[in-house]
Amino acid sequence: MFDENADTSWHSAARYTHLAKTMRVDFKVCNISFWGYDRYNFIQKPIDFVMLTIRKRKDCCFERYLNVCLVLNEDESDQLCTNTPDGFNDDKSPFITWYKPAKKVRTVELVFRDQHTPAQIADLKIFYNDCSNFKRAGEVDTHHCTCKKSRNATHH
């Protein structure tokens, strides 16, 4: 899923077909302590979310993307969901994009709510601004912030 190869894909297990399937990304940084022992402590580091894009499978099953919802910071009351089996508005393109800019995002979830089909993603990219390297708010210029793709995810 994170290899930018359209010929590979992630597919949920058959035993989860009749459940909602969730792919979740937590944004964290590693804080290393050197007090005698190397200890890795992961702390949340919010980002300024821009959009999430997935590539649909190209070999089959193109119409399994109805009611796939983007959930930021576990706030299901403000989720953004696809409205047709192809994604948004019967779009036949190979990609689906959820554009929902938001500040201070700690978790990004993609929830496949259809309980009749498995979840599948050929590729996934999260685009966000990381302006934490600026010291003062007046120095932040979004044109100079780094746009990054996340590659760490868990799925249920």
Q: Which domain holds residue 123?
A: 10-131
* 140 lies in some domain: no
Of residues 44, 45, 30, 27, the one with CA closest to residue 150 = 27
Reported as a single tens digit per residue, the pLDDT across 48-85 is: 999 999 999 887 877 889 999 999 999 999 999 999 99
Q: Is 4 contained in some domain?
A: no
Q: Which residue has the tokens 């969730």?
A: 22
Q: Which residues pair with 102 in a beta bridge?
A: 49
Number of domains the chain contains: 1
Domain for residue 90, yes or no? yes
How buried is residue 122: exposed, middle or buried, by Cβ count under 10 Å (0-12/13-18/19+)? Answer: buried
User: Closest Cα partner for 147 from 134, 131, 133?
Assistant: 131
What is the CATH number for 77?
A: 2.60.120
pLDDT digits (tens, 9 = 90+) for 10-42: 778 788 788 899 999 998 776 665 555 556 667
Residue 92: inside a domain: yes
Q: How far apart are CA 128 and CA 107, in angstroms?
A: 12
pTM given for the model: 0.76
